[in-house]
Structure 1
Amino acid sequence: MCETRAVTALLPPAEPLVGRFIRLTPFDAADVPELAEALRRPEVFAGGYGGGPEGLPADDAAFERFALSYYAGGPLALPWTVRLHGGEHDGRVVGATKFADLDLTNESAHIGWTAYDPRVWAGGVNVEAKLLLLGMAFDHGFGRVKLQADSRNERSRAAILRLGATFEGIARRHKIRADGSWRDSAVYSIVVDEWPDVRAGLEARLVARGDEPVQLVGA
């Protein structure tokens, strides 16, 4: 007779995650106007976010409909708003992301739906966001975290590799884009045995960045 293995992954609480340069707060509809200012930009959607360039909402009302759907929460999804922490722009919304596709039995999850204001693309925001989210995942018993990007998006794919993730392959004809074409997705993962080295690498990148708060370049 087979024994049932105890489930070790636990659903993380929807509570703020605070780092040195950013804090992640549970997504709220009240965040949408600031999020529109940060993300309703052609360069954000160009790489495949929100279905690609044709998915760019035409106005703030359309962005609100998009964001409330894209960042919907639920029992298997924890969406987050990304805010700057410290400095002149403390509290400013600069992006959003989601910890979702949670499978507690198989200890797997997906970090994705991620986009940032282009003015902070080089500021260490993504590095610390992933450090916070991956730490939350592995601290709550998850064993594998998936990350993925449109196969055409070389910038995002390179960023995922720099996090320390392992390339697993291409999921062909994976998602339909806003223009009606089919997207192939490049799939990556980080597993729990790799986490100590990945964490050390992310922390080293933040140390190398220095202590200066993230600034909105051009704000």
Structure 2
Amino acid sequence: MTQSAHTDVLAAGARPELPGADAVLEGARIRLEPLTEAGIRELAPILRVPEVFAGGFGGGPAAYPADDDAFVAWFGGYHPAGPTARSYLVRDAQTDLAVGTTSLYQANAARGSVTIGYTAYAPLAWGSHVNPDAKHTLLAAAFDGGFHRVTFELDARNERSAAAVRKLGATQDALLREDRQRADGTWRSTLVFSILVDEWPQVAAGLQQRIRTA
């Protein structure tokens, strides 16, 4: 959706919408498939690794499940669900392998805002085309759906994730001091970033270049 078309939608009083609950989102080299229990079972052996939880996934290492069955039981209640959220399995379209998960959540039509998060990838996908492709796909879905603002919230001590969000072209809006607890009971401070619809064309161009060259 172009900026002028987006403005026309808002001017006409249309409310922004998430993708359909059953919609598969096609990226350049990945697919985002609606997350199911079967998908969670597929993710268990690739995400239930210490390196993933060390980065803060699920609240940090203290949340690390004992086995794959425990991961399925835990993640089924952890990922965002309901009418204001869409959770996805990220699949590499070239290999057909599951490589991670990500979500759109906290959709607020009145404010024109939605959040991208609950993202984790298998270590083999780190530094590849997967994250920029998935982010481009989710951002396009959000802005094409009429949202004005996309936000990212992450643990302030997760420098890897903060660097990745800044690389997208997102602007840091806030630091929420000790606003929630990690799995081990320590208090987490949350960094909040955003991308506005006016900024999307430039962000999209940067992501497309990264996807081509990854």
Q: What TM-score do the two structures reach when normalised by structure 1?
A: 0.89
Deviates more, 1:129-138 or 1:72-81: 72-81
Say whether residues 1:29 and 2:53 are aligned partners.
no
- Report the equivalent of 1:151: 156
CA distance in 2, matches of 1:91, 1:69: 26
For residues 84-130 of structure 1, the C-alpha deviation after alignment (integer angstroms, 9 at most, x for no partner) is 101xxx22111111100000111100000000000110111110000
Separation in 2, partners of 1:133, 1:43: 25
Alignment equivalent of 2:59, drawn from 27, 46, 51: 51
- 1:8 CA drift (Å): 3.1
Q: Which runs of 5+ in 2 are unaligned?
A: 1-11
Looking at structure 2, the residues matched to 171 and 118 of structure 1 have their Cα atoms a distance apart, in angstroms, of 28
% identical equivalent positions: 47
Given that 1:144 and 1:190 are in contact with CA atoms closer than 8 Å, whether structure 2 keeps it comes out as: yes
How far apart are residue 71 of structure 1 and its match? Answer: 2.2
Superimposed CA distance per residue, residues 136-167 of structure 1 (whole angstroms, 9 cap, x where no aligned partner): 00001000011121100111100000011101
Structure 2 residue 70 is matched with structure 1 residue 62 = yes
Calculate the aligned-residue CA RMSD, in Å.
1.4
Partner residue in 2 for 1:115: 120
Gaps of 5+ in 1: 210-219
Alpha-carbon offset, residue 53 of structure 1: 1.0
Contact 2:106–2:114 (8 Å) recurs in 1: yes
Contact 2:91 2:100 in 1 (8 A): yes
TM-score by length of 2: 0.91
> In the TM superposition, what is the alpha-carbon distance from 1:11 to its structure 2 partner?
2.9
Is this contact kept in 1: 2:87–2:101, CA < 8 A?
yes
Counterpart amino acid of residue 44 in structure 1: V
Q: Please state whether the residue corresponding to 2:190 is helix, strand or coil.
A: strand
Greater fraction helix: 2
Alignment pair present for 1:9 and 2:12: no
**Alpha-carbon distance in structure 2 between the residues aligned to 1:125 and 1:208:** 12
Q: Distance in 1 between matches of 2:156 and 2:176?
A: 9
8 Å CA contact 1:19–1:128 kept in 2: the answer is: yes
1:208 and 2:213 correspond: yes
Does the Cα contact within 8 Å between 1:11 and 1:104 map onto a contact in 2?
A: no
Equivalent of residue 182 in structure 1, options 187, 199, 203: 187
Consecutive aligned runs of 4 or more in structure 1 exceeding 2 Å deviation: 5-8
Q: Which amino acid aligns with 2:108?
A: D
Give the match for residue 108 of structure 2. 103
Aligned residue pairs, count: 203
Compute the displacement of 1:7 (Å): 4.2
